[in-house]
Every structure is written in C-alpha cells, then in structure tokens.
Structure 1
Amino acid sequence: MRNRRLFTVAGCAGALAITVALAPGASADTRNHEAGDQEGRTTVVLNPKLVPVLTETLKVQTIRPGRLTAPGGVAQLSFPITEVEGKVIEHAGGLSFTPVGGGSLRITSFDVNLRTGFLNAKTVLDGKRLPGRVDIFALGAPKPINGAVPKCDGTQAGLTLTAGAAKALGAPSFAGAFVGDACVVPDED
C-alpha cells in the first residue's frame, strides 16, 4: 500500500514538474519574445490514474500562463512556448503544489532540450531555489492513455520521471514512471 501511494505521488509530482515535450528538432531559427508573446503551445495529456492525487492530495495549481483543463473529461496541462533556440524550446508558466507531508514546490520555466533528451525546469523547494536546472522528465515514445495515444498535430513524446526527480520525491524506485504524453505545436512563421 505504501509503495502504491509513493508511486502515485512520484508520478503526480513528475506530471506537475514537467508538462512539456519534444519540439521540432529542425528549428535553426532563434526567436525571442516578450512576456505575453508566444510561439505556440505544449500540451500534456495526463495519465488519468494520477489526476485524483494531483487535485486532492497535492493541491496542484498552475502558475500563469499555464493552464489546467479537462476537454472531454481528459485532464491536460498546457504552457506557451516563448522561445525556440536551436534544439532548446522554452516555455512560460509553471506549477505549484503541496507535497505529501507539507512544504511547497514550484517548478517554472520549462525547457525541452533536444540535445540531451530531457525536460528541465527552475525549481524552488520550500522557498529555496535549487541550483541550475533540474532534469524532471526523460523524453521518449508516446504511450496509450485510455487505450490510445492522444491525437497530436505537432511533435509528440512520452514523459517519464527521471531518477533524480524520483529520488528528490522520496521514491527512487519509481524512476522511469510514465506520467503522460506531451504534444508540442509551435507557431509556423
């Protein structure tokens, strides 16, 4: 029972931590946008087994301009793409939640790094900024959710929890847990 709860918490925290996925790898364009401008949107369809823990236990809240919606009853998070610089896709917004046992966690400014194959973020735990950017998810093949891989009109990736993120969540054995499928849809100029 305890391991099941830790798995759910670890997966949820991972889903919160990073709601971004692969972006087009062929972008050589470097664009910089002011706050409010965007170059598209990344959406993550969450593993439905995690949603109750996200909302009831961890009290997830999006940090603007991030959004949590449930079209057709399927929970998803979305964040605007703010810059595409080579193989790094930057996003605005973030997530905050209350970890099991108390405290606070804020994860913001998600980057998808296609050179490394990870999604990382700026992270503040209990009011203290962790140094550098923290790898939250490994990017891989999308997986079925509710029996099918979600439709994506962009580039798609499955998100799995990294060993470092799982260890930080107190559940190191859950490294590699599937959190959801992300879809990156950059604006076309």
Structure 2
Amino acid sequence: MGFPAGYSEVLLPKLLITTLSFLGFFGNLILSLLRLLGLSSFIEPGFHEPDQPESGPPQSISSAAALIREMLPVLTYAEIIASTGPENEPDQAESCAVCFYEFEEEDEIRQMRNCRHMFHSCCVDRWIDHDRKTCPLCRMPFVPEELQEDFNEKLWAASGIPDFYSEYSPITNF
C-alpha cells in the first residue's frame, strides 16, 4: 500500500507553476515591446536582461588575477607572427579556442608562457577573472615553475599580510 494522495496537493503546484510561467511570459512580452518602441529607458537601471552579456569588467579582480594579467602581456596577432618567424607560422593557432573566431592581425592576443596557446585577451581575461590559474585549453598552469616563487612573493606582498605581521615579535615565556 502507499500513502493516499489527494488531488489538492497535485493541483496547487501545477496551478502555481502555470501562473508563474504566464507572468514570466507577460514580463518578457512587455520588455520586448518597450525595446521595439525605443522606450527601453523605462527599464530599471539596475536590471540586467538574462540574454544580454554584462558589459564592463567585473567589480573586483583578485590579486592573483591582476598578477597573472601583468605576467601575460597583450600583443597583436601580427606582432606574435612576426616574432616567431614565417617558418613556425603553421604551428601557430589561427583561431581562439574560447570564442572560435579567427585571429585578425590587429586582434589583441595573450600567449601563454608554458604551453604557448593563444587567446583573445578579452576571452582569457574573463577566464582569469574567475580565479582560474590554468590554460583554458590544456590546463597547464599560467605561471611557469621557474617564476612560481617570485609570483608567490608578489601575491603575498599584494595581500597586505606582511604589513600586518611586520611588527611580529617572538613570544616570550612569562
């Protein structure tokens, strides 16, 4: 046997879900009409539409992300091709593995130090801003082994902790 189920428990959630779906559809319809009529300024300024990407950089970037960005300079695709030479050009990627757009000569590119993969700077910067510390393609660390100690020292200094403990004195026995 089982527990008896009344129809009121089944009907109420379906009615609630149907009502909420209708309200969501009605809200999207009004937003579309306002946008169509050029009156999108009536939308609240803090409102972000779900199908529109957020513009601008994130509010705060971690110290590690800022240091990684500093370590990976931005170059144009033409500069990278010129620095590698024509004999290595077939080895270079022709498109960004994040957005799949082909590289143009004037595109700003960040080339990874360990694996040498290339990405549009805006694509890999979003990856870095989410505190990812590895290549989006092969997961190799952004910071090479020989620079890891220097990176950690800079990160420690940027955190402000050394200033807090600078007046540290050893504990003496009472």
Larger proportion of strand: 1
Global fold match (TM > 0.5): no
For the aligned pair, the TM-score class normalised by the smaller chain equals under 0.3
Structure scoring higher RCO (CA < 8 A, sep ≥ 6) equals: 1
More helix by share: 2
Q: With the length of structure 1 as denominator, give the TM-score of the two structures.
A: 0.22
TM-score under structure 2 length normalisation: 0.23
Larger radius of gyration: 2
